[in-house]
């Protein structure tokens, strides 16, 4: 057996991909499975973006690019963050990556030493803790509380900060809860970050998928742009998961460091996908609006249906395309219920415990699927729970 480095044992997989693999095995056996586990829009990439990609291929955009990304795309991103957030930036502050995950990885590699503390949301996207653990740092979750619409308690948050805290990770709208942080929440984080000289990684990949209230980027708060890495991408908003394209906007010196990490790892994002991304940002946005309208309808169906299930209660998410129902009254743990729903009811979803210790007692379901399939899943879950 190959002897791997000790640090490799600290890496964790994503539950969504493990559940997908098992669901595919069941389907190969002739079982019907409703897929509510994966964080992927079920819509095709808008036609204008696809055509831009095809045109780019035909025009020879099949070569290496600068490691930080092609200048026209970086300029398009600068223009976009000004429109979307009111942020003034320049192309040298932008790093384009193959998917948004490398922004998390590169930020942690560039900023964090072994023994440092990194604050991250709990429950939260598992890649955060996995990468923090990998570099030998300590992930310190700040708790998102259901009774507070999955926002954090300011006093609890301040209590998680230690003299070793070097980075705070923010995610709003959130995966897995669908919660959205208010401006007042971000002001607490900003106050702490400035008092303690801490950088912030703000994961805003779902910022266009918001149903109630408004999205506020922490980078827009006074004194925060120079200490914030704004992370975004094209997968969720434009249904471009397979195109693998994300970006970060950050201080110039950090952008140079992250571009160097990219030189030594992925080299660059694909040329033609970057050209297509320019069309995504600058072209018609009607497909995004239509997708959001469909998600809004599905949100109503899945929340209403979950709240009718025995032992289940569910808040209405304010953003993203996930629900995070409380299943404590069923008497089963998150992992046991998620496993049995897949094996016995044919519903693929994720255990809340996949998102950290504060996720136990919950499930995560994606409503990036048709209303018909959502209703089918709810019927199967109801039958299963009634027979417990």
Give pLDDT, residue 16. 78
Which H or E run contains 284?
none
Rounded Cα distance, 259 and 103, in Å: 10
Residues of the chain with pLDDT under 70: none
Alpha helices in the chain (DSSP H): 15-28, 47-58, 71-85, 101-111, 126-134, 154-160, 183-196, 252-263, 271-282, 286-306, 334-345, 371-386
Give pLDDT, residue 43. 95
Per the structure block, which two tokens stand in for 7?
A: 């640090």
Select from 335, 339, 341 the least CA-distant residue to 356. 335
Is residue 233 within 8 A of residue 125, CB to CB? The reply is: no
Q: Is 236 helix (H, G, I), strand (E, B) or coil?
A: coil
pLDDT (tens digit per residue) in 2-18: 999 988 888 887 777 88
Tell the residue number behind the tokens 């026209």, with chain if given.
Answer: 72
326: DSSP letter: B
Is residue 144 within 8 A of residue 153, CB to CB? The reply is: no
Per the structure block, which two tokens stand in for 30?
A: 């002739």
Give pLDDT, residue 255. 98
**Which domains occur in the chain, in start order?**
6-44+286-386 (3.90.1150.10), 63-282 (3.40.640.10)
Q: Is 320 helix (H, G, I), strand (E, B) or coil?
A: coil
Task: Give the CA dihedral 219, 225, 227, 230, nearest 10 degrees.
Answer: 50
The sign of the CA dihedral 324, 330, 331, 336 is negative
Rounded Cα distance, 291 and 358, in Å: 31
Rounded Cα distance, 195 and 216, in Å: 21
Select from 120, 132, 108 the least CA-distant residue to 157. 120
The residues, ordered by sequence, that sit 6+ positions from 8 with a Cβ below 8 Å of its Cβ are none
Give pLDDT, residue 302. 98
CB atoms < 10 A from the CB of 381, how many?
26
For 39, how many CA atoms within 13 A lie in the half-sphere containing its CB?
22
Alpha helices in 112-153 (DSSP H): 126-134
- Predicted TM-score (pTM) of the model is 0.96
Give pLDDT, residue 276. 98
Task: Give the CA dihedral 243, 259, 199, 178, nearest 10 degrees.
Answer: 0
Give pLDDT, residue 18. 86
Rounded Cα distance, 298 and 292, in Å: 10
């Amino acid at each position: 057996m190959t002897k791997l480095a000790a640090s490799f044992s600290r890496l964790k997989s994503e539950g969504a991909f493990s559940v997908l693999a098992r669901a595919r095995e069941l389907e190969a056996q002739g079982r019907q499975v409703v897929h509510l586990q994966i964080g992927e829009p079920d819509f095709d990439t808008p036609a204008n973006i696809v055509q831009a990609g095809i045109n780019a291929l035909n025009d020879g955009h099949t070569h290496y690019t600068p490691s930080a990304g092609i200048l026209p795309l970086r300029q398009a991103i600068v223009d976009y963050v000004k429109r979307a957030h009111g942020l003034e930036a320049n192309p040298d502050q932008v790093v384009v990556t193959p998917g948004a995950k490398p922004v998390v990885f590169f930020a942690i590699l560039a900023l964090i030493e072994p023994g440092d503390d990194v604050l991250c949301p709990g429950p939260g996207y598992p890649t955060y803790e996995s990468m923090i653990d990998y570099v030998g740092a300590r992930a310190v979750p700040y708790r998102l509380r259901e009774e507070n619409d999955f926002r954090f308690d300011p006093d609890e948050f301040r209590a998680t900060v230690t003299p070793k805290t070097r980075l705070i990770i923010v995610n709003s709208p959130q995966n897995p809860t669908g919660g959205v942080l208010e401006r007042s929440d971000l002001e607490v984080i900003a106050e702490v970050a400035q008092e303690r000289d801490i950088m912030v990684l703000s994961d805003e990949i779902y910022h266009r998928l918001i149903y109630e209230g408004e999205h506020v980027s922490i980078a827009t708060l006074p004194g925060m742009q120079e200490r914030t890495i704004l992370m975004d991408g094209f997968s969720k908003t434009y249904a471009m998961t397979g195109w693998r394209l994300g970006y970060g906007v950050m201080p110039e010196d950090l952008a140079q460091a992250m571009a160097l990490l990219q030189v030594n790892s992925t080299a660059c994002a694909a040329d033609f996908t970057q050209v297509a991304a320019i069309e995504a940002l600058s072209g018609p946005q009607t497909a995004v609006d239509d997708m959001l309208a469909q998600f809004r309808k599905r949100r109503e169906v899945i929340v209403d249906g979950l709240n009718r299930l025995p032992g289940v209660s569910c808040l209405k998410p304010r953003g993203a395309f996930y629900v995070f129902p409380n299943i404590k009254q069923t008497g089963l743990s998150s992992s046991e219920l998620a496993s049995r729903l897949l094996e016995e009811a044919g519903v693929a979803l994720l255990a809340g415990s996949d998102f950290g210790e504060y996720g136990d007692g919950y499930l995560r379901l994606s409503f990036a699927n048709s209303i018909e399939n959502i209703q089918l899943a709810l019927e199967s879950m109801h039958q299963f729970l009634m027979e417990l």
